[in-house]
Structures are given as structure tokens and as C-alpha cells.
Structure 1
Amino acid sequence: MLLDTMLRLRPVEKLDERVVIVGIDEKDIAWIKQYPIPDEKIAELLTKLETYKPLAIGLDIFKNVPVEPGGEQLAHILRSNSNIIGIEKILPPAETSPPQSLRPEGVGFVDLPNDEDSKNRRYLLYTPNPKNINEDKYSLALRLVTKYLNAKGIELQTGKNDPNTINFRGIELPRITHNFGGYVRVDDGGLSILMNFRNSEQPFNVVSLRDILNGQVDAELLRDRIVLVGNRNLSTGDAIYTSALPGLKLSGQIYGIDYHAHVISQILSTVMDGRPMLHSWGDIGEYTWILIWGFLPITIGRLTQSVWKNILSVSVAGFCLFSCGYIMLWVWGVWIPVTPGLLVLAVNGVGLSAFAFYQHDKFLRSQIHERQNTIQNTFTVIHNGPLQTLAYGLKHLRAKDISYEQLLGQFEKLDREIREIGEFLKLEALTTEESLRLGSGLILELNRPLHDLLYEVYSSTLERKDFENFKTLKVKIRNFDPIDDKYLSMEDKRGVCLFLEEALCNVGKHAQGVKRVEASGVCSLNNYKLSVKDNGSGITSKLENKGTKHSKILAQQLRGEFRRESLSPCGTICELSWKLKREFEF
């Protein structure tokens, strides 16, 4: 498709006067009032054409069966004129015999190979006879071209660089090989060439049958020319599909006789005018070309170090690649692998840019997430440690029930805790190990089992002296069922430990008159429920503090639930529950 597009975009070429088409159109059929055209009229046409002395006449009409009247008259014309070439079809499944009155050298086949998209881009010049492999069969175009060039003193010879092709005056016709241009594993039997259509709305002179029979054609138009006689009407269904020509009167089609005319014209133009035929590089050249355009976007990406600059550079490179392919095709007739080059440009350029953009965005998001976690963890450590010490000191300062020495001790403790937190954060930034500092100053390694960590958090928090409500406790109950660590990440474990510490701290701060506290972690039916119950004064304020907000966020991360409510007749429960993930869940 890209080849067709570049062929359509070539500059307009002048008319080739060496080829003339005598087309039998719908008006000719209406004029003669018979179809198929009777042999009498075809014989009269050929006799009239011979008077104009063309160098060769191609009769692109099947004449294996006479169409009376005039069958014997046409046979006599074909026997007596050696410059008339008839046609046959030799390839299955539609073999058609040539006229019996013609000698073998006066017959050319018109079998046309088509591509998988039903378009015709190739022309078979000769091929071994399917019925006799020792005999070569020549196409209609090759028969006519050979007669024309022989008349000009130019002989057909075997190719020198490629013995499987032919050459005229040292110019070899490029043969379509097994891997040729965009073709992969194409049938390379015989000699096939790539179509190089003459890009023009009127590439050849076209006259009608009635113009010839009525003597309305200038003799110089046909003298020393190749004349093709055939159908140019839709009744015969002789149409060839192509997208390589602009402004076609038939949508995406040309007449079969026009297709043969283009082949004849391109060979003559190559031999006599130096117009290049379409050819391609060898496999090594094409692979090298594709690799160059594959490495180019990688190099561009390293030089630009910018996603948008890289995309812009790759787009410019893609335009340059298409332009290079267009110029090579137009000027030198070389069909280079533009499409594979564009594909590797897109994959290695846009694809890698998109991947780099994704990785960069992912890195930024991870950095933001890490900073948010650092801020959150730092706040939590400060909240459960120094802020509690500060709140304890402020409370007694307002009540004026503490001595100066005790108050000074609280502020010295506050200073010490803040410094310890600073040192802890410095060490945490320098190490890859995950750790957690509790408000009590205890540092926990998070790679330990969760139930062990919960026991440590419980014990360390209840031993704190800065929570007066802990002094009234009589009953302390704890029980944490073990769970497999594969169900929780390090961040999850950190969050769960901080939740337990916050819940216990709330008991120490707000549960006045508390005598019993129970902390439990129960695993059942693929769920884990961590709760803290007390029998203190219950919830006295409906305002949502920082701890409650963080607990709700943690519940969302674990895809679980959080609740904090008063118990009857007294007390509070703070509970976090989540479903344990299975290995096959994503």
C-alpha cells in the first residue's frame, strides 16, 4: 500500500507515443450490433492496421473459438502476417488455447499474478511451460517488445549478472526474487518484474475500432508503433485492480489491455530512454537499512533525554525516511524497505518514549508516595512520642499541680525525644532495612512476624509513664493470632503497628477510670480483626482527630474496615479488620 501511494505521488509523465491502443468500447459494440465482435470485423480491422505499417500488433482477444462470420478470413490474416501476436492462457485453472492458425512464436500468454490483496503489481514475462518444462513460454508484452526492439537493431540476450533474467543492450531487467522489496517468500518461478506504471491521465494514444474502420486515424499515429487491440468495455470483465495510478476512470481498476501497454512502455522506456525499472536491494542491504533506523531512535532518545523532544525527533526522522524512500523510488527506481523502517521507528521511538515516560511518571509517583509516607511516619512518631510528653506537661502546667522540677523534667524529656527521633530518621535514611520507632523510644525491625511486633507494641506502650490512665489499669489482656507475612507488605505492617499504638495511646489519654484493657488479633475465615477494648469513660467528643483519619486511610489501603465507637454500659472499642489476600489474587 505504501508502494502504491509513492507511485501515485510521482510527477506526471508525458504520453508514450510508441504504444497505441485500439480499444473496442461500448459504442463499437452498439455500432456493429453484435457481441462478441465477429471475426469478419476483426479481420477487417487487422487488415486496415497493416496498411499503417506498425512494427507489431498484439491481438488481446481470445480467438480459440471462431465467431462467425469471418472465421476463415481471420485465420488467413493471422497466418499471413508475422508481426501479429495472439494470446493464450497457460496457467491453471483457466487455460485457454491460442488461435490454431498462429505459429508458436506468434503467441504470448496473458496470465497475470495478483497479490494477496487482489491488486496487480507484477508482470510475468516468461515461464516454463507447465505441460513441457523444456519449453519456455513468453508473455504478450515480451513478444511485442522483442519485435519492436529487433526492428531497432536491439537483440534480446541472457542476463550477465543474473542468468535467470534477460537484457537488452546491456540493460538487465530486475527480476522479482524470493524476497524482493516488500515481498516475502513470493513465487519466483519464471521471470516476473515489478510494475512501474506511467504516471499520467493519458499515458497512451487510444483510438476506437470504428475510428480505424472509418479511416479517421492519422497514419503517422500508428506507423512504426506497437498497436494493442483489445476490449475496453465492462462487458468482458477484463479489468485489473491497482492503487498505483491517480485519477482512474474505473474506480481502482484499469483495463487489461492498458495493463499490457504499461508493461511494454516501461521496458521500452528503460532500454531506450533510461527510465529506471523498479528494483530492490539484496537481503543484507535491506536488513542493514532496517537496523540503522532501529538504532536511530535509541540514539535520539539518549541525546535528547526528553520524552517530547524524542517524539518530535522520531516524527521528523519518520518524515525523512518516507521522503528518502520516495526519492529513491522516483529517481533511481529503488524500492527500499520504508514500512519496516517506520515500524521500528515507532516501536523504538514512540514506544520507548512512552515506556520512558511511564517509567519516569512511575518514579515520580513512587518518590511522592515515599515522601508522603516519610511525612506520615514522622508525624506519627512525633504524635505518639514528643507530642504526648508536651500534652502531659501543658495539662499539668495549666492545672498548676506539678512542681517546677517536674515540669523541667518533662521538657528535658521532650528535648531528648525530639533529638532521638532526629537520629532515628537519619539512620533510617541510610539503611535499607525497614524499621519503626514507637513513641516509647523502642525501635522495631519490621521483618519480624506481625504477631511478635504487636506484642512488642502492646507491652512497650502500656509501660509508658506519661499516660495517667494506665495507672488505674487492673486487668491487661492481650492475644494476637499469627498470620503469614506474605499477606502484608512492610508498609502494611508499619500501619498496623501504628494503629495498635494509637489505639492504646487513646486509652491512656482519654479513657478516664479505665480498669480493663483488652487487645486482640483474631484470624478467622480468611479475615484478620485487630481490636482494642477498654471499660473507661467512652467517647466524649464526635470530632475526628488525626489518628482516626489515618486509621480510615489504612483501612482503605488494606481494603478493610475501621470502626471506633462506645460500648454499653461503658468503654470504647477501636477495631481494624481486613481480608487476607490469597496468592492467586491480584
Structure 2
Amino acid sequence: MKTVVAPRKPPPPRKRTRSLALLVGLAVAGSVALLRQTGMLQSAELYAYDALIRVQPDWGADPRLVFVAVDDRTVARLNSDTLSDAALLATLERLRAYAPRVIAVDIFRDVPIGPGRDALLDYLNQQFLPLEGRIKPIILTCQLPSLGNPRGIDPPPVLDPADGIGYADVELDADKVVRRVAFSGVPATETPFFGFALTPGPEVRCRAPFALGFLSALSYLQTEGITLSRSAGGNFNVGGVRFAPLPRTMGGYNNLDPGLYQTLLAYRGRRPAVVVSLADVLEGTADADVFRDRVVLLGYSTLDKGDFHETLWTTTGYLAPRPPCESGFGGSPRRPAADLGVAPLDRNPMDRRVGFSGSLGGTQD
């Protein structure tokens, strides 16, 4: 007798739908991963990132920072749009009398400006030489070489410049918006204090291993007994907080420089630091308590001298000047002085998006 085999029933519609959904999901995920690798989604992902940052709470002015601005009032008082060597010396002397922890000068002084050059250098050397081998309480700046400026901008010719000079370079994305901050570059060679330095050509005098803001933060922490070390893996350690370079591919970024110690910039808000006109400082009308035990950031804010960068707030009509020390005025790239400064002191984990320490992306050991 012939056996009749019943035809196989088709799978239930629900199982077929699940299988199709799984295949579609895998295809979409694979396509997104492929597009991210090619960098085609970078603009869209950064746009979404920007939107998230704009809706976060405004953290307000940072109590550890004050920005002294060479503004239009200062220009009118000095009858000059440039701070001369004599005026810079008077500024430093007045600021030091207010007992800040650190003064960071984001004003290039590679050549003499007006009268007072010798007196300015003598004063700086008096501040630097007794602290040989330690980070200085006054941090000066220079500019690293670049494609457009292969020589860079020299630092002031002070004695014992190691640990008292920070570079002023800024990391910009393709759309010219500041979202990242670099605080050191590698590879490195020996220097007297840290054991790291950039390796430019012999004609380049700007050999600062650290950014102006990062070095200013280290100077601030030095007064708390917190110092910088380097692990066997090459990462920086500051007071139990570890800093590592960003990976080549991260978030919306597809081709970051893995040889650069950089991290995402944590925007504090539109006005995250107290701003004092240099005119008030020179006239003696500034409140001394505003400066005591703080990081003082000195830089230009006038339209013709200030260094302006696009930030996440520029769509609301605010263009941030580049103040010194990465202080984060309106999201300026000078933020790490603040970000690094408190994390090791507070012993808080350094989340990339939360709190004073967020932009350096460190981790608590």
C-alpha cells in the first residue's frame, strides 16, 4: 500500500515576520557600520551630538576660573590695541598681588612689543628660576609648527622655560567647530621635568609638550600636592585620574589622530567663567577676592585681536573668543584647566558628559 506524505505546512506568518525583521535589522546595522567607517555619517552624528549638548543644563561660572580680558575698555585706557611689554609687566605684578594660584598668559611675546622688554624678562626670570624643576605659577605660550606656519611662534626668551610654556594650538573639526581639545602630542623625547616633549625640527623653538590649559591645570594641582606621572602603557595619570588618547574611531568621528592626546570638550555653558576687564585690574578697582586661589586667564577679547572660534552656541549668535587656559568660555577650546583641575581633587569619576571634569575623558583608577 502506497504511503502518502502530507505536504509540509508553511511556517506561521509570525515566524516569517520575525525572520524578515531580523534580516532587515542586520542589513541596516551593517549598512550603518559601513557608512560610519567611510565617514559619510560623521556630519549627521556630530549634528545630533551638538543638539544633545545644547539642551544640557548650564553649569554656570566655574568658581576656580577668572578671565581677565584685554577688551575695548582696556584699549581705550592704554590708548593702544596691543598690550606692550611694560603693560604686561604691570598686569602680572597687579595680578600676583591678588594671590591667584596660576596666571596663564595667552598672549604671544616672541618679539618685543613697545617699551619694557628687559624689565618684563627680568620679572619672569625671578618667578621662574627659584622653581626650577617645578611647574611655574605664570604660564606663557607659543605656537607649534603647522602646514601654514612651519616655524610656529616662538616662546618668550625666558630662562628655564621648561614647565612654564604651553602651546596655544586649537583642534578644529571639518566644519570649523570646536568639539575636541588636545592636551599633549606624541611621540615624545626627554625633557627636564616631565620626560615628554614634541620633536619638531631644529629651527623650531616652540617645543612645549603640553597645551597651555593643561599645563596651567597641572600648576594649579601642584599647589595641592597632586602631580603628573605616566604609566607603562603611556597614559597620563594625575591624582588617580587616567588620561588616554581617543581611539581613531569614536562616536561621530571616523579618523582621529591616535597619536594625539585629545578628548571631547565638555561645554560648561555660554558664560562659564567670571570675566573681568583688564582696565579694572590696572585701575585697582577689581575685587581681589575674585582672583584669590583661582586660575587667572589673560587674553584678548577685542574683535581685531581676539582669536575667535565657532562653538556649539554660535547658532544663537554668540561667537566665543579663545581665552587662555582652555577655560571654556562659551565652549572655547581652552577648557582643560578647569576640567582637569577639579577631578583629582574631588576624586570624581570623569564621565565624558557630566560635571567639571567631563571634557578630558579621564577615568578613575
Q: What letter is aligned with 2:235?
A: T
**Structure with higher helix content:** 1
TM superposition shift of 1:260 = 5.2
Aligned pairs for 1:72-111 within 5 A: 72-82=118-128, 83-92=137-146, 93-94=148-149, 95-102=152-159, 103-111=161-169
Q: What letter is aligned with 2:107?
A: I
The structure showing larger relative contact order (alpha-carbon pairs under 8 Å, at least 6 residues apart) is: 2
The 2-side partners of 1:132 and 1:148 are apart by 31
Q: Does structure 1 residue 119 correspond to structure 2 residue 177?
A: yes
**1:263 matched residue in structure 2:** 336
The 2-side partners of 1:278 and 1:100 are apart by 39
Distance 1:224 1:249, change over 3 A: same
Aligned pairs for 1:297-316 within 5 A: none
The 2-side partners of 1:333 and 1:68 are apart by 41
Q: Does structure 1 residue 148 correspond to structure 2 residue 220?
A: yes
Q: What letter is aligned with 1:45?
A: T
The 2-side partners of 1:99 and 1:224 are apart by 26
**1:214 matched residue in structure 2:** 283
DSSP-derived class of the 2:337 partner: helix
Per the normalisation by structure 2, the TM-score is 0.70
The 1-side partners of 2:255 and 2:247 are apart by 9
Q: What letter is aligned with 1:8?
A: R
The 2-side partners of 1:220 and 1:243 are apart by 31
The 1-side partners of 2:262 and 2:256 are apart by 11
Q: Does structure 1 residue 183 correspond to structure 2 residue 290?
A: no
Alignment equivalent of 1:26, drawn from 68, 72, 96:
72
Distance 1:247 1:220, change over 3 A: farther
Q: What letter is aligned with 1:60?
A: D
**2:58 matched residue in structure 1:** 12
The 2-side partners of 1:256 and 1:333 are apart by 19
Q: What letter is aligned with 2:343?
A: T
Q: What letter is aligned with 2:157?
A: Q
Distance 1:275 1:17, change over 3 A: same
Q: What letter is aligned with 1:85?
A: I
**2:30 matched residue in structure 1:** none
The 1-side partners of 2:153 and 2:49 are apart by 33
Alignment equivalent of 1:45, drawn from 82, 91, 113:
91
Deviations 1:541-577 (A, max 9, x none): xxxxxxxxxxxxxxxxxxxxxxxxxxxxxxxxxxxxx
Alignment equivalent of 2:116, drawn from 67, 70, 74:
70
| Structure 1 residue runs without a partner (length 5+) | 280-328, 335-586
Distance 1:248 1:146, change over 3 A: farther
Distance 1:193 1:278, change over 3 A: farther
The 1-side partners of 2:252 and 2:234 are apart by 21
Aligned pairs for 1:504-515 within 5 A: none
TM superposition shift of 1:151 = 0.4
Distance 1:243 1:275, change over 3 A: farther
Q: Is this contact kept in 1: 2:60–2:273, CA < 8 A?
A: no
Q: What letter is aligned with 1:196?
A: A
Q: CA RMSD in A?
A: 2.5
Deviations 1:359-386 (A, max 9, x none): xxxxxxxxxxxxxxxxxxxxxxxxxxxx
**1:193 matched residue in structure 2:** 263
The 2-side partners of 1:59 and 1:333 are apart by 24
Q: Is this contact kept in 1: 2:109–2:156, CA < 8 A?
A: yes
Q: Is this contact kept in 1: 2:167–2:208, CA < 8 A?
A: no
Q: Is this contact kept in 1: 2:300–2:306, CA < 8 A?
A: no
Deviations 1:93-120 (A, max 9, x none): 3310000025122110011121111111
DSSP-derived class of the 2:217 partner: helix
Per the normalisation by structure 1, the TM-score is 0.45
The 2-side partners of 1:228 and 1:117 are apart by 27
The 2-side partners of 1:268 and 1:63 are apart by 26
Deviations 1:146-165 (A, max 9, x none): 111010111112247xx333
The 2-side partners of 1:272 and 1:2 are apart by 32
Aligned pairs for 1:428-577 within 5 A: none
DSSP-derived class of the 1:62 partner: coil
Equivalent residues, number: 279
The 2-side partners of 1:34 and 1:14 are apart by 33
Distance 1:193 1:245, change over 3 A: farther
**1:235 matched residue in structure 2:** 304
Distance 1:247 1:217, change over 3 A: farther
TM superposition shift of 1:60 = 0.4
Q: Is this contact kept in 1: 2:183–2:261, CA < 8 A?
A: yes
TM superposition shift of 1:261 = 4.7
Q: Is this contact kept in 2: 1:19–1:261, CA < 8 A?
A: no
**1:226 matched residue in structure 2:** 295
Q: Is this contact kept in 2: 1:197–1:245, CA < 8 A?
A: no
Bigger radius of gyration among the two: 1
The 2-side partners of 1:247 and 1:168 are apart by 36
Q: Is this contact kept in 2: 1:196–1:278, CA < 8 A?
A: no
DSSP-derived class of the 1:105 partner: coil
| Structure 2 residue runs without a partner (length 5+) | 1-46, 129-136, 187-197, 360-365
Distance 1:174 1:198, change over 3 A: farther
**1:272 matched residue in structure 2:** 345
Distance 1:246 1:218, change over 3 A: farther
> Percent identity at matched positions?
27
Q: What letter is aligned with 2:175?
A: D
Deviations 1:248-277 (A, max 9, x none): 633xx4434343553211222433346664
The 1-side partners of 2:275 and 2:181 are apart by 22
The 1-side partners of 2:262 and 2:305 are apart by 26
**1:558 matched residue in structure 2:** none
**2:10 matched residue in structure 1:** none
